[in-house]
């Protein structure tokens, strides 16, 4: 591929969520701090929302890596499209409960017993729901009811909801859940300066000895990507591949324009504008 040509050890712009390549922009740092605060202080429920490709999943992995060093029992829900019983049973499985019952009343009793046992042993219980916008309102109501599991010292479980913008609208329709969410944050795309730093950072992490993107090329990439990390990765990866094939010494505006004008590569709609993105916390 292009690793040897550009003098790299790893692919710098792979879109797989890799905490090793996590770039801590101002907004991502704030989001991470809020999640850590919610988990460490047992705040009950926190919500992190953002556009597709803004880096929620990678941020979640960095958060879990940091929190797993503590005394925490973690339940990660990556596929929330289950019915109520299946969802609760999945929680029990991931809490390593040996015998998971079938009837809901028994499931809830076993879950409360497990959460109480963890609390008595000084273990925090954390449930993270990724792609939470896929939850139905009934399932969100079910999650709210889990927050009724409390001791005199506070919540027996902390729930982190991570999802796209639709999640915010769904939560607004469940007033009691909205009131239980102690921490809320909207994860914004990068600005131009952060995009520059991000592209330099990813190259360096991959073993690069020099930056191969001109400043003007990065400006074009920012303009087309709207600052979304996933799109930046996609563009930069393709630029480096084609640049190597064409034996270019660096990625300049000419190459970027050439590829962006190639409808076979970019014949889809550009990402929606994020002008209205705002902090909801």
Per residue in 17-50, pLDDT (tens digit) is 888 999 999 999 999 999 999 999 999 999 999 9
Structure confidence at residue 134 (pLDDT): 93
Of the listed ranges 8-12, 25-29, 254-258, 259-263, the one predicted with least confidence: 259-263
Q: pTM for this one?
A: 0.86
Residue 253 pLDDT more than 90?
yes
Structure confidence at residue 80 (pLDDT): 81
CATH of domain 26-187: 3.40.50.300
Residue 51 pLDDT more than 60?
yes
Residue 263 pLDDT more than 80?
no
- For the chain, the domains span 3-18+191-266, 26-187
Q: Please give the average per-residue pLDDT across 222-242, as a whole number.
A: 96
Q: Please give the average per-residue pLDDT across 166-191, as a whole number.
A: 92
- pLDDT above 70 coverage of the chain, percent: 93
15 versus 266: the higher-pLDDT residue is 15
Q: Please give the average per-residue pLDDT across 186-191, as a whole number.
A: 96
Structure confidence at residue 267 (pLDDT): 55
Structure confidence at residue 101 (pLDDT): 94
Structure confidence at residue 280 (pLDDT): 41
Question: By CB neighbour count within 10 A (0-12 exposed, 13-18 middle, 19+ buried), where does 229 fall?
Answer: buried
Rounded distance, CA 237 to CA 64, Å?
Answer: 27
Residue 271 pLDDT more than 90?
no
175 versus 79: the higher-pLDDT residue is 175
160 versus 274: the higher-pLDDT residue is 160
Confidence class for position 272, pLDDT limits 50, 70, 90: very low
Options 2.60.120, 1.10.1220, 1.10.8, 3.40.1010; which CATH number does 3-18+191-266 get? 1.10.8
Pairing of strands 181-187, 45-50: parallel
Strand partners, 187: 50
Rounded distance, CA 68 to CA 260, Å?
Answer: 42
Average pLDDT over the chain, rounded to an integer? 90
For residue 218, what are the CA distances in angstroms to 12, 99, 239, 253, 260? Answer: 15, 55, 11, 8, 13
Structure confidence at residue 264 (pLDDT): 58
Structure confidence at residue 48 (pLDDT): 97
Q: Please give the average per-residue pLDDT across 172-197, as a whole number.
A: 94
């Amino acid at each position: 591929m292009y690793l040897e040509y550009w003098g790299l050890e790893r692919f710098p712009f792979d879109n797989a969520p890799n905490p090793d390549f996590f770039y801590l922009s101002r907004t991502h740092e704030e989001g991470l701090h809020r999640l850590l605060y919610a988990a460490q202080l047992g705040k009950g429920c926190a919500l992190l929302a953002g556009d597709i490709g803004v880096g929620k999943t990678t941020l979640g992995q960095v958060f879990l890596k940091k929190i797993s060093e503590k005394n925490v029992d973690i339940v990660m829900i990556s596929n929330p499209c289950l019915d109520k019983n299946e969802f609760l049973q999945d929680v029990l499985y991931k809490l390593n409960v040996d015998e998971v019952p079938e009837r809901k009343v028994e499931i809830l009793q076993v879950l409360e017993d497990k959460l109480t046992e963890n609390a008595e042993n000084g273990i925090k219980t954390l449930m993270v729901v990724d792609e939470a916008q896929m939850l139905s309102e009934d399932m969100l109501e079910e999650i709210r009811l889990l927050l009724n599991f409390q001791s005199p010292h506070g919540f027996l479980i902390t729930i982190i909801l991570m999802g796209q913008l639709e999640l915010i609208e769904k939560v607004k329709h469940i007033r009691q859940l909205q009131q239980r969410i102690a921490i809320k944050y909207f994860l914004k795309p990068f600005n131009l300066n952060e995009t520059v730093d991000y592209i330099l950072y990813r190259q360096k992490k991959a073993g690069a000895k020099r930056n191969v993107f001109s400043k003007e090329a990065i400006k074009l990439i920012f303009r087309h990507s709207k600052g979304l990390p996933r799109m930046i990765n996609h563009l930069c990866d393709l630029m480096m591949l084609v640049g190597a094939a064409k034996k270019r010494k660096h990625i300049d505006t000419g190459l970027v324009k050439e590829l962006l004008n190639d409808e076979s590569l970019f014949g889809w709609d550009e990402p929606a504008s994020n002008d209205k993105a705002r902090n909801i916390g």
